[in-house]
Amino acid sequence: MAPDVLGVVECEGRSALLQFSDHLLPAVKSVPFAQAMLIDGNDGRGIDVGLLSRRGYEIGWMKSHVDDRTTNGERVFSRDCPEYGIWTPSGATVWVLVNHFKSKGYGSQDSSDRKRWLQAEAVRLIVERLKLEGAELIAVIGDLNDTPASATLAPLFGEAGMRDISEHPAYVSDGRAGTYQRGNDREKIDYILLSPKLYDRVTGGGIWRKGVWGPNKTPAWDVYPEMTSSYHAASDHACLWADIDV
């Protein structure tokens, strides 16, 4: 896909990003990224969120939110919600907030829903603060672990006014709304959410599934020829992409 900026979810650490960029990419005749950044988060399993960027797209400013807490002292983010200010060749700064919200797989539904709502609300407040500081080009990306109409994500979709890349006229759908496993509507949990001014600069978008096998015996879409079984899958999440004129 050769992105200029790549958000990564569930990475073991910055050293893993460097190994991927500096060793794996050249092995498949691709260009390494110029910068790799990952801040250790709050998940004891070491599944963190990070960012890779090409030359010319410099990670200029960074701010971590690993220690953000609720009024009762609870850490808000399951991993982190790092703010990355990307300095683009045009001189514009694009703010990228990489996320991995609380999953539905552990704990009760009520506690999981509450945690995701807290995280969405915290991200909304970060977005509002950035706007007050003069930022106009903001992206919230990653695995938010819930569907667009869920109450848990309402702070982002409603109050923050962020726009989903999949709603843009330039987005090319493959007929499946979901980003996870089979790609059905209930499995739309990964997002590129854009502020209105960044959304207006979109020139294309879509979803890339060639590294995903899915839960069936045979995949329901084209995969890389080297993948001959589910064991070879790169992930069970497809990759969202957006072309944006910045």
Q: How many CB atoms lie within 10 A of CB 222?
A: 9
Question: pLDDT per residue over 32-67, tens digit each?
Answer: 999 999 999 999 999 999 999 999 999 999 999 999
The pLDDT score that the predictor gives to residue 158 is: 83
**Is 121 strand, coil or helix?**
helix
Identify which of 19, 89, 23 has the alpha carbon closest to the alpha carbon of residue 50.
Answer: 19
The pLDDT score that the predictor gives to residue 244 is: 98
Identify which of 200, 209, 215 has the alpha carbon closest to the alpha carbon of residue 241.
Answer: 209
The pLDDT score that the predictor gives to residue 104 is: 84
All domains in the chain, ordered by first residue: 59-244 (3.60.10.10)
| Per-residue pLDDT at 160 exceeds 90 | no
Question: pLDDT per residue over 97-112, tens digit each?
Answer: 999 999 987 778 899 9
| Per-residue pLDDT at 202 exceeds 80 | yes
Q: Where are the alpha helices (DSSP H) in the chain?
A: 14-19, 25-27, 109-132, 154, 196-199
| Per-residue pLDDT at 159 exceeds 90 | no
Determine the residue type at 222: D
For 225, residues 6+ apart whose C-beta sits below 8 A from its C-beta are none
